[in-house]
């Protein structure tokens, strides 16, 4: 099975997964293996060729004994099970500002987070979806929660509190 840790850029995927270890960075794979079809000049980002990415991820997964865990904001397009990291839009905006993102890129991501874009896509694409509200949690706490969910998946047992729809930012806009 392919497990994807996904979420809007800035929600802390790479930081948390660095603590987990053994997680494949999808953006790095796309960059290093040239799995893109072009460059988005406006956004300054690569346009991933998701068909090629999917084939490559399946190939990597086949060579493994257990599950393959990947992370990146595109991972829900190529995984069976997604864990979506969420962060309150105002905190996300602060983080992306610190990261030096342009105003347009900050707004685009903050708005996407506010209206659950990645969660909705994950529900559409994946067999199973969990979501974690990372707001006010340290990187260690987020990594522990991901570990807890991965452990439940591995043991084939249920885990409560992370169902899709459990995070809701709509009250932020009243």
- Which residues of this chain interact with ligand ADP, rule CB under 6 A? 7, 9-15, 95, 134, 137-139, 142
Distance of closest approach, residue 160 Cβ to Mn ion, in angstroms: 28
What is the C-alpha separation between 89 and 95, in angstroms, rounded? Answer: 10
Distance of closest approach, residue 88 Cβ to ligand ADP, in angstroms: 12
Rounded (to 5) percent helix, strand, coil in the chain: 50, 20, 35
What SS3 state is found at 122? Answer: helix
Contact 129, 5 (CB under 8 A): no
Give the H or E element holding residue 130.
strand 128-133
Given the complex with ligand ADP, which of 67 and 94 has the nearer CB atom? 94
Given the complex with Mn ion, which of 13 and 76 has the nearer CB atom? 13
Q: What does 76 bind: ligand ADP, Mn ion, none (CB cut-off 5 to 8 Å by kind)? A: none
Q: What does 11 bind: ligand ADP, Mn ion, none (CB cut-off 5 to 8 Å by kind)? A: ligand ADP
Given the complex with ligand ADP, which of 138 and 154 has the nearer CB atom? 138
Distance of closest approach, residue 94 Cβ to ligand ADP, in angstroms: 9
Binding mask 5-24 for Mn ion (x = CB under 5 A): --------xx----------
What is the C-alpha separation between 94 and 136, in angstroms, rounded? Answer: 13
Distance of closest approach, residue 18 Cβ to Mn ion, in angstroms: 10
DSSP string for residues in 68-118: EEEESTTGGGS-SEEEEEE--HHHHHHHHHHTT--HHHHHHHHHHHHTTHH
Q: What does 4 bind: ligand ADP, Mn ion, none (CB cut-off 5 to 8 Å by kind)? A: none
- The sign of the torsion formed by the CA atoms of 14, 110, 96, 161 equals negative
Residues engaged in binding Mn ion (CB under 5 A): 13-14
């Amino acid at each position: 099975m392919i497990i994807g840790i996904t979420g809007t850029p800035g929600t802390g995927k790479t930081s948390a997964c660095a603590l987990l270890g053994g997680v494949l960075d999808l953006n790095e794979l796309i960059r290093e293996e040239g799995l893109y079809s072009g460059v988005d000049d406006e956004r300054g980002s690569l346009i991933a060729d998701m068909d090629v990415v999917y084939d490559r991820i399946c190939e990597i997964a086949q060579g493994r004994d257990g599950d393959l865990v990947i992370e990146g904001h595109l991972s829900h397009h190529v995984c069976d099970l997604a864990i979506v990291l969420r962060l309150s839009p105002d905190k996300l905006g602060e983080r992306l500002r610190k990261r030096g993102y342009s105003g347009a890129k900050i707004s685009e991501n903050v708005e996407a987070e506010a209206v659950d874009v990645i969660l909705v896509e994950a529900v559409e694409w994946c067999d199973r979806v969990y979501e974690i509200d990372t707001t006010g949690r340290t990187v260690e706490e987020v990594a522990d929660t991901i570990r807890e969910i991965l452990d439940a998946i591995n043991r084939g047992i249920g885990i409560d509190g992370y169902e899709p729809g459990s995070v809701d930012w709509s009250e932020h806009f009243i």
